[in-house]
Amino acid sequence: MITANNHYFELPANYLFQDIAKKIKIYKEKNPNAKLISLGIGDVTQPIPMACVEAMHKACDEMGKLETMRGYGPEQGYEFLRQSIVKNDYLDRNIEVAADEIFVSDGSKCDVGNIQEIFDVSVKVAIPDPVYPVYRDTNIMAGRKISYLPCLKENNFLPSLPDEESDLIYLCSPNNPTGTVMTKDELKIWVDYAREHHSIIIFDSAYKEYIRTPGIPHSIYEISGAKEVAIELRSFSKTAGFTGVRCAYMVIPHELKAKGPNGEMVKLNPLWSRRHSTKFNGVAYIVQRAAEAVFSEEGKKQVKSMTDYYMENAKLIREKLTSVGLTTYGGKDAPYIWLETPRNITSVDLFEKFLNEAEIVCTPGSGFGQYGEGFVRLTSFGTRENTIEALNRIGNLKL
Ligand code: PLP
């Protein structure tokens, strides 16, 4: 008899997120005129840069003409986009990455899950807690053993090296949900660990465009020796508002190796290339042209102004909450603010207070892992108007 992948039954049932969705629904039914404002959304609200819109229009016109239409493209991404990424995201920051180390995809979420296929199911995984839940759930689905690395106020929300030997380590900086970032020295500790233990780091820098503090690494390859031990994930979603357009990329350096069938070290870049071209048929030409436009002069200016807009929201959130006696973390180099609940109330209690007394939606930290308890995540992805209105309401709350 056929057996299901029973690891799916080991997934933490997302009662918390279901429960908060239910509470919001009930509140809306009871208060049909309520003007709820979400400070919980992880999605963008501003239109994508005009440079990208224009590039898409142009690419659409090309698709409508016999001489310029495109069919299947290269699975790994068009050369024009891979070269633009190499130049703008790496060489301009003095990092050497080759175009054939870049793999364009339809999103980092898929990359997080798919990359695991080139590793044996027995590899031991280390994941920070709280965390972007996709790292955890995709590994549970694959039946891997996970150790969790607590990220607490006491350690500045930075994971400490694992007690148990770990093969595959997920790191995210700027971090979702805590909004904190890793310095070069902090990241170097992990690169050194991975080199010593022959582990591989999956470094997710989906929010790199929000870094404002000079010296904070945008790429793990800013750390010497990282190309031998790290895969980097990048996404256009939060960089350029592409959450609905879908484009990301992953860097698999030629230096990266793992144990092969006869105990010898084998290169992972060709393995991933094989996997990508077997199971994926490339990102739409129109979308790749839009992504390329992110790196045009106009595109860069528009991306900066869009991320500045959100970061100004983040500043308003931090300042207002601090002025009413609350404690916040993050929000300086990331669009997320990690708000400590007052008087040790639970994150769900604070969520309910915000909802029932201020008509504001936030995300309870416990939804991101057990060590997220005692915090809620606020995002700066709202409109300015809504952000200011939400902050005024919080200012009037008795907390
Ligand atoms: N990585 C992190 C840390 C995220 O927060 C998100 C989305 O919220 C993603 C990856 C997914 O990005 P994409 O839209 O490219 O799938």
154 DSSP β-pair partners: none
Predicted local distance difference test score (pLDDT) of residue 38: 93
pLDDT one-digit tens code per residue, 151-185: 999 999 999 999 989 999 999 999 999 999 999 99
Q: How far is CA 121 from the centre of its chain?
A: 24
pLDDT one-digit tens code per residue, 337-387: 999 999 999 999 999 999 999 999 999 999 999 999 999 999 999 999 999
Total-model pTM: 0.96
Interval 187-213 mean pLDDT:
98
Q: How many CB atoms lie within 10 A of CB 128?
A: 25
Interstrand relation of 230-235 and 248-251 (parallel, antiparallel or unpaired) = antiparallel
- Given a contact cutoff of 8 angstroms between Cβ atoms, the answer to whether 310 and 383 are in contact is no
Write the residue with the smallest CA distance to atom 5 of ligand 1.
176
- Higher pLDDT residue, 11 or 101? 101
pLDDT one-digit tens code per residue, 49-96: 999 999 999 999 999 999 999 999 999 999 999 999 999 999 999 999
On the question of pLDDT at 278 being above 80, the answer is yes
Report the mean per-residue pLDDT for the chain.
Answer: 96
Write the residue with the smallest CA distance to atom 12 of ligand 1.
108
Distance CA 248, CA 335 (A): 19
C-alpha 72 to ligand 1 mean position (Å): 26
> In which band, very low, low, confident or very high, does the pLDDT at 294 lie, cut at 50, 70 and 90?
very high
Interval 192-207 mean pLDDT:
98
pLDDT one-digit tens code per residue, 16-60: 788 888 999 999 999 999 999 999 878 888 999 999 999 999 999
Interstrand relation of 265-267 and 257-259 (parallel, antiparallel or unpaired) = antiparallel
Q: Which residues line ligand 1 (CB under 6 A)?
A: 42, 107-109, 132, 172, 176, 204, 206, 235, 237, 243, 248
Interstrand relation of 146-150 and 168-172 (parallel, antiparallel or unpaired) = unpaired
C-alpha 204 to ligand 1 mean position (Å): 8
pLDDT one-digit tens code per residue, 227-276: 999 999 999 999 999 999 999 999 999 999 999 999 999 999 999 999 99
Pocket test of ligand 1: the residue of 176, 180, 283, 287 to mutate, having most ligand atoms within 8 Å of its CB, is: 176
Predicted local distance difference test score (pLDDT) of residue 270: 98
Predicted local distance difference test score (pLDDT) of residue 399: 84
On the question of pLDDT at 15 being above 70, the answer is no
Which numbered atom of ligand 1 lies nearest the CA of 110?
16
